[in-house]
Structures are given as structure tokens and as C-alpha cells.
Amino acid sequence: MERMQQIVGRARAAFNSGRSRPLEFRIQQLKALERMVQEKEKDILAALKADLNKCGHNAYSHEILGVLGELALTMEKLPSWAAPQPVKKNLLTMRDEAYIGYEPLGVVLVIGAWNYPFVLVMQPLIGAIAAGNAVVVKPSEVSENTARLVAELLPQYLDKDLYPVVTGGVPETTELLAQRFDHILYTGNTAVGKIVMAAAAKHLTPVTLELGGKSPCYIDKDCDLAVACRRITWGKYMNCGQTCIAPDYILCDPSIQSKVVENIKTTLKEFYGEDVKSSPDYERIINKRHFKRVLGLLEGQKIAHGGETDEASCFIAPTILTDVSPESKVMEEEIFGPVLPIVTVKSVEEAIEFINRREKPLALYVFSNNKQLIKRVISETSSGGVTGNDVIMHFFLSTLPFGGVGHSGMGAYHGRHSFETFSHRRACLIKDLKMESTNKMRYPPGSQKKVDWAKFFLLKRFNKARIGLFVLALLGVVAAVMIKVVN
């Protein structure tokens, strides 16, 4: 416990020194982080290979590319993001300066996940640095090689006191959560998310929780099945199904179930060849514990394709389950593996009802040639994010917030949304000491006349384009004189 107190204490002392606040310093640190990713690319790829059997090009596109893109965007846009944001004023404040100022929260904690162990630590870190915070980084101990590398590299490139890295398992994380932070961002499962939130509540610390869930994928009969199934196959089986926004299960009409299976089988052959196990593009389950958990979900299911396993290498082949009962074990928890159940529904109404009976998912996918049907599903359901006629791609658009709702999480980040998550939006109003007579309406003693003038100032709406700011200013002066006369 004492070690964690020291780490967080040093970070807070460094933050209180004020050195993380200037934009020049923030950009300098972001440039150093960019240099780290570029110079240590081979080491990062090797760690991802050791943890998840990610081949070089997959690891680069899944993890490194997103970090470099986020860095480039943040460094370009940070001056405009951090600038005071003027707000509209009323008659009472037209001569004043009113704006939203963005200030850092303080010392924040970022707890990463093991399935994308580099990008899911680095992207929140980028936003927290950009906002001017000190950041304690806790990579997942499950992806031990990447965690070790992050702990080794960050102090070589970033300010050691402002951005410390803590490694370790549950005991270390528990001790860390006992400390006071000004914000915590956690990526992982719902059970641990509740623990994080409970620990944060003791200090009234706000949290951002990215928790996953069972993300549904509805396929309409009026759809190009070949294209839909190719996109679904890519999103489902990338990283061996260990993606928080992977399509968890398919909902479709019974009449197209067999066609969906055949199209996915064709695509799997196209992506991974005849022998999936030997394909360099197919990853592995992270460890034996998760291997056994996913394997247990196959019990009693009708396997339409796949099902082959090898415990020694944590290999589970891309698997499709058909005629799955909504009450079966595989439909109770997030699969987080290369197993795709198909549940049949007879209409979009039934699909919507099915989705709404369950906890709100992190993502939702709809495939149809009918854009109105897609928008209907969006309007009648709730999820963290949604993509129509594709999967996962909303994650890669930095102008969209990435986050959950309900059991799939709270808060969001990516791009400017990361900067705002780790910033306090401070309401700022600066007045001068002139025209004191306009303030008499708010001073005692009260009167109906004062109430009437207050209603005029606060409730009256003017079309600025038509009467102009000059006339508004003139109205303010006249009103001030009238108030003086009335009093």
C-alpha cells in the first residue's frame, strides 16, 4: 500500500507543480510518445506476438496504426480543443466575457485490457496527457509481455513522475484503487467494472467504464448476404474473437440461416485458407483459463462449422452455432472468443424485442438494403454505438465517441472526446465594475417592477441577425436608465 501511495503522491506533486499544464509541454510529451511507438515498433510487435500470436501486419493495423493516428490528430487539434469556448450571452451579460475553460482534472488512472493491450492503454493515455493531467498507467497483467514492455518504455520517453506505470495483478490493482484519483478509465468486464466504480465512489471519483457485453448483429432478408457475411466474419474472428465490440451473435430469419452459414464458411476459407490453424492471420486465445471458458460454451450446441480445438496452443477454430436457444449458456455471457451463435427471429420487430429484453450492448449491428429499417432499429433500441451494414468501423472514426451505456459502460473517449473526458469544463464569467445600476433589480428590496425587468432581460429572445448587436446594446443602456428611474 505504501508503494502505491508514493507513486500516486509523486504524480500529484508533479501535477501540482504545474508543469503538465502548458500546451507546449503536453505536445512535447505527445511527440515523445509518437517517437517511442516509431522507434520501438519491432519490440511492440514482438510483445503482441508473444501475448496473442498476432502477426506483424495484424498487430500493426490493430494496435499501432490507431495510436499513431490518435497522436497525429491530437497534436494537430489540441490548440483549438484547449482554447476557451465562448458561449452565447443574454442582455444582462452582453458586455461581459463568458466562456467555457478546459482545465485538467488532476491525477487520473488508466487501467488497460489484455485483448488489445497496447492501443487500449495508449489511446486513453494520449487524451489524458493532452488534457494536462498526470496519469498512472496500469496495463493488464494477463498480457504480460506487453505490460512489461509498456512499463519499460514509458519512463524512457515520458516524464517519470507525471506518467508512472504500475504492473502486477489483483493485489496491486486493489491497492492502486484504494488511492484517490481525479478520474479513472477502466476497460474490461462488468464484474471488475463494478469493483472499480465502488472503489472510486469512496473518493467521489468519476469513472469512464468500457465494459463490453453481447453485441447483436441483425441480418435482414433484404440484404447482400455475401457482402454482409464477409464483413461480419472479419469483425467476429479478428483477434480470435477477443474484441469487445465484435458481433457476439446473429439474429436472422430462419429462411436465410443456412445461407448465412455457407457465406461465412466461404469467407473463412478466403481469409484463412484450408488450414486455419496454420494461418498467420489467425490469433490464439490469451490463456488456458479463457480457452476452457470458451470451450464450455460449446457444450450441447449444434456446431454447423468449426469446433476444432488444441489446448496446448490455445487454438479454437472459427465456429458457427445454429438453431441456438436464447436460454442457452452461450447466450448468457459475452463470448469473447471465435464462436458465433445464430438465433432465428421471424421479423425485425421480434429482433428489436429480443435485443431490448437484454442488457444494453456496447455495439449493435444491422445489415439491410433498406436504410429506413436500419434507422428504425437504431431508434427503437439502445447501445453504446451502432454501425449499419458493417461491424466495428464506428470505433475507427475519431469524431464519434466510443463508449457504452448501462451494463456496457459509461462515458466515452477517442479524439476530442478523450480530451473532454479528462478535462473539467469550467464555467467562466468575467464582468467589470461599471453600470452598477443594471444590477439593482437583483438587490433588495424587491418589487414587481424589478421582477418585470428581470423577465425582460432573462426571458426576452431577440433575433440578432435582424436587429444587430448595436441595438441590443442600446436596449441594455435604456433598460439600465429605466431601472435607475424606477428606483
Catalytic residues: 210, 244
The H or E element containing residue 226 is helix 225-237
Task: Taking the CA atoms of 10, 12, 14 and 20 in sequence, report the sign of the dihedral they define.
Answer: positive
Task: Give residue 378's Cα distance to chain centre.
Answer: 19
**Whole-angstrom Cα distance, residue 187 to residue 132?**
21
> What are the backbone dihedrals phi and psi of residue 40, each rounded to the nearest 5 degrees, phi first?
-110, 25
Question: Taking Cα atoms as reference points, which of 292, 316, 11, 25 lies closest to residue 137?
Answer: 11
Candidates 427, 438, 425; CA nearest to 95 is 438
Q: How many residues would you count in the chain?
A: 487
Show the cell assigned to 72: 497525429
Task: Judge residue 354's burial from the number of C-beta atoms within 10 Å of its C-beta, 0-12 exposed, 13-18 middle, 19 or more buried.
Answer: middle
Please name the amino acid found at residue 388: G
What is the 3-class SS of 169-201, one letter each residue?
Answer: CHHHHHHHHCCCCCEEEEECCHHHHHHHHHHHH
